[in-house]
Amino acid sequence: MKTPSIIVIGAGIGGISAAARLAQRGLHVTVLEKNARPGGRCDRISRDGHHFDTGPTLLVMPLLYDAEFAALGASAREMLDLQRVDPTYHLVFDDGSGLALTSDLIAMREQLEAIEPHSYHGFLRYLEEGHRHYHLGTERLVNRDFRKASDFFTLANLPLVFQLKPLVGHYHNMSSYFNNPRLKAAFSFQDVYMGLSPFEAPATFSMMPYTELAHGVWYPKGGMYRVVEALMEIARAAGVEFIFEASVKQIEVDGLRTRGVILDDGQRLEADAVLANADLPYVYRDLLPQDGMTAKLERKRFSCSVVSFFWGVDKTYSTLGPHTLFLADDYRENFKSIIDDLTIPQNPSLYVHAPARLEASMAPVGEDTLTAIVPVGHMSQNGEQDWASIRDRARQEVFRRLRTLGVTDLEEHIKFEMNFTPLSWRKRYNLMKGSTHGLCHNLTQLGYFRPSNRHARYHNLYFTGASTRPGTGLPTALVSGRLAAERILDDLGMGAAL
């Protein structure tokens, strides 16, 4: 009997993990990646002894990593050599005051009570709600495929409307626990991970601050790119073939099936099934015959984008912790500028990462490696945004914010700069509108309402990644890869147990 062959388009986290699972079940799997290295948005740049993670800079939701690596026959803790980061973040407010988010409840109590008397009790109640949302959400939403409506709309899921608060806004829900707007911001900013504003995100996402404090924020030795390297080791050991600098021009279809792909150089590759790990809206628009789905996807809500700076610095800024987040007091206006106006806020919240605080080898001796990330709007339909100007404004805002911490001479000590704008994200990773998180996670784009991981017409064409189920983020990309692999195996009559 002929061994089924699978082509995977894109060596992102979902693509690599799905490829590994399929190969472990005996399928012949070939992964085609347009770039010279795997990882997709979870990329790495190295220059002159400085090492930068271009995507995620911290590992959250470690229990999902544990489960997904275990399903691949590996140990996440051993392969990733994880180090816990605590405090998780140092938050800095507009007046220079701060809050160190930590799992040390005594330290949290002292800090919270100093900001708002009696707020510690509200914090504990918020964590209790986050615990419920995390466990129910991961079990009933994240780890489920919802292949048909009846999988989602069940009597068993009906209580989730009350248990997960999907109809309640996250920021509005914060009023049940805190009065101080800075505390409301401190425990809702994580919605940006989903490409969402806390003012439109469902209260379900209280699961994110909960898991960070309860399960920890972690750092893999070698940076977040180590996750990619570990998955590559597993996939190659299973027999997956990787072809880099192989850009797919078209998914070839015939009737109700796909036959394979055509590369930019005209080469045709046939397969029994195709799994697309490229950005789903891009796949429908650029790789498939037009059938109305492109227009439907373009009407959906896309996540925000970011301007990222990668600086090699010729001195060490030891006062900077590994994860520093500057939270603007005009919190609502920040998100209005990003989500509605598709630009950079006047006083943006922003994030600075100093990986050498966690691993000295991320920078040369006596020097520093810094990454600054400024959330901005995604690309507009008319393309009128001046990204060079927005980038330059973002850079100055980072310098201004750092001066409040006593870092006053950074500009003088930058050896080199690399930067990404939404234009970069689109060109480098084929992300529609330069949206770094794909489709956002508002209520009508969650669970069953998120695009399916199998094409409605071509039943041997599948999807994995941020814009399909269960959604965006590195740990959920692992789940997405597993769900897609299970569906392929089911359709091939090989069973879904992985």
Mean per-residue pLDDT, 285-298: 92
Mean per-residue pLDDT, 49-54: 98
Read off the pLDDT of residues 150-180 as tens digits, 9 standing for 90 and up. 888 888 888 888 899 999 999 999 999 999 9
Residue 125: Cβ within 10 Å count: 12
Question: What pLDDT band is residue 53 in, cutting at 50, 70 and 90?
Answer: very high
Question: What pLDDT band is residue 141 in, cutting at 50, 70 and 90?
Answer: confident
Question: What pLDDT band is residue 148 in, cutting at 50, 70 and 90?
Answer: confident
Q: CA 62 → CA 145, 219, 253, 276, 310, distances in Å?
A: 21, 11, 39, 26, 26
Residue 405, C-beta contacts closer than 8 angstroms, at least 6 positions apart: 92, 96, 319, 320, 324
Pairing outcome for strands 323-326 and 305-313:
unpaired
Residue 291: Cβ within 10 Å count: 13
* CA-based radius of gyration for the chain: 22
Residue 498, pLDDT > 50, answer: no
Mean per-residue pLDDT, 446-474: 93
Read off the pLDDT of residues 183-198 as tens digits, 9 standing for 90 and up. 999 999 989 877 789 9
Read off the pLDDT of residues 205-221 as tens digits, 9 standing for 90 and up. 999 999 999 999 999 99
Nearest to 189 by CA among 66, 83, 331: 331
Read off the pLDDT of residues 219-278 as tens digits, 9 standing for 90 and up. 999 999 999 999 999 999 999 999 999 999 999 999 899 999 999 999 999 999 999 999
Question: What pLDDT band is residue 144 in, cutting at 50, 70 and 90?
Answer: confident
Q: CA 379 → CA 191, 291, 383, 422, distances in Å?
A: 20, 24, 6, 7
Length of the chain: 498
Task: Indicate the residue type of 70.
Answer: A
Nearest to 202 by CA among 160, 151, 148: 160
pTM of the full predicted structure?
A: 0.95
d(CA 128, CA 186) in angstroms, rounded, equals: 17
CB–CB of 314/425 below 8 Å?
Answer: no
SS3 of residue 142 by DSSP: helix
List, in sequence order, the alpha helices (H) in 117-260.
119-137, 149-152, 160-163, 170-174, 181-186, 207-214, 225-237
Read off the pLDDT of residues 352-404 as tens digits, 9 standing for 90 and up. 999 999 999 999 999 999 999 999 999 998 778 999 999 999 999 999 999 99
Task: Report the pLDDT value the prediction gives residue 202, as an integer from 0 to 100.
Answer: 93
CB–CB of 10/278 below 8 Å?
Answer: yes
Mean per-residue pLDDT, 17-25: 98
Task: Indicate the residue type of 498.
Answer: L
Task: Report the pLDDT value the prediction gives residue 145, as an integer from 0 to 100.
Answer: 87
- Among 173-177, 388-392, 442-446, 481-485, whose mean pLDDT is lowest? 442-446
SS3 of residue 264 by DSSP: coil
Task: Report the pLDDT value the prediction gives residue 165, as an integer from 0 to 100.
Answer: 94
d(CA 466, CA 280) in angstroms, rounded, equals: 8
Residue 80 parent element (H or E): helix 76-80
Q: CA 303 → CA 53, 185, 192, 352, 447, distances in Å?
A: 20, 19, 9, 21, 16
SS3 of residue 96 by DSSP: coil
303 secondary structure, DSSP code: P
